[in-house]
Amino acid sequence: MAEIASVFGILGLIGAFIFPIDNFSYVAASIAANGVKAAKPAQLVVEAHHSTHGVFSSGGKKSTLTLPNLILDHHVHSITLGSGGRIVITYNTQDIDWGYVVVA
């Protein structure tokens, strides 16, 4: 069993050298995580509404549920309430160059 674990460990190290983690994945994951963190107060309001009334707010313009004043991240454009208690996070990443640089 230890031999198999050693083989997988060596293959993992070789794979890390061949396919290093690119900056794109790190930046995209960081932006998404910051958006989810910024939406946490909205999640608490939606959960409290569901706990009190037993249904999720319909969202949209007819909704009586108001979200708290949210602190938005640089790349989070807006956080709104959708139908069925869904929290919609809209991102703005226009300042990021998502193109790959090919090194020859």
Could you state, in order of their start, the residue ranges of all structural domains in the chain?
21-104
Residue 2: pLDDT band with limits 50, 70, 90: low
Q: Contact 91/78 with Cβ under 8 angstroms? A: no
Q: Contact 51/11 with Cβ under 8 angstroms? A: no
Residue bearing tokens 């919609």? 88
**Which CA distances in Å does 57 have to 2, 8, 31, 36, 86?**
54, 49, 27, 20, 9
Q: Is the pTM of this model over 0.95?
A: no
Q: Which two tokens stand for residue 90?
A: 């809209």
DSSP 8-state class, residue 73: -
85: left (phi over 0), alpha (psi -120 to 50) or beta: left
Query: Per residue in 20-67, pLDDT tens?
Result: 666 677 788 888 999 999 889 888 888 888 888 888 877 666 666 777
User: H or E segment at 9?
Assistant: helix 2-18
